[in-house]
Amino acid sequence: MQDDIRVLQGRSRWLTRLALTLFGMLLLALAIEAAMIVRADDQVSALGFWLSYRLSMLFYLSAIWTMHRAFARIASGELFNQVLPVSLSRLGFALAGGAVTSVFISPWLGRVLGGFRHGAFAAFDPPAITIGLVGLLLVVLSGLFARAVAMRHELDEII
pLDDT of res. 43: 83
Q: Is the pLDDT of residue 118 over 80?
A: no
pLDDT of res. 114: 67
In 3D, which of 22, 147, 142, 19 has the Cα closest to residue 92? 142
Q: Which amino acid is at 102?
A: S
Q: What is the mean pLDDT of residues 76-98?
A: 92
pTM confidence score: 0.87
pLDDT of res. 155: 85
Q: Return the higher-pLDDT residue of 118 and 83.
A: 83
Helix 106-113 to helix 43-75 angle, to the nearest 10 degrees? 160
- Residue 67's pLDDT band (boundaries 50, 70, 90)? very high
Q: What is the mean pLDDT of residues 53-58?
A: 93
Q: Is the pLDDT of residue 159 over 80?
A: no
